[in-house]
Amino acid sequence: CALPIYYTPDLPQSTVRRAITEAFKVWEGVTDLRFTEVGGGDADIIIQFARLYHQDGYPFDGKGLVLAHAFFPGTDKGGDTHFDDDETWTFNSDSDGVDLFMVAAHEFGHALGLSHSN
């Protein structure tokens, strides 16, 4: 899969890239899929940090509750994964905030077509 990354000001770009890469490695470890970052344009999964209404019909709610969402595979927005930039994103940290790796690994499961299960 080809994917570009858009960033959050909460973390250095290198840290965002590492968290996203490690989240995709979770899925590479249990599927035959391999993920490759692209600079933009024609990507299978577009990763975006956004606030409130962000033109996809599913506005975020501000800090708390909804952390992110991903679209099941398909045309148009299929696979795209959005993170609520009103959250405070962290990576592998004991500080207050939301761990980007954990949320990304979860959302990428949805981008690949998996629903929640027990």
28: annotated active-site residue: no
Residue 5 three-state SS:
strand
Asked if 84 and 50 touch (Cβ cutoff 8 Å), the reply is: yes
Distance of CA 26 to the CA centre of its chain: 13
Give the residue numbers marked as catalytic. Answer: 107
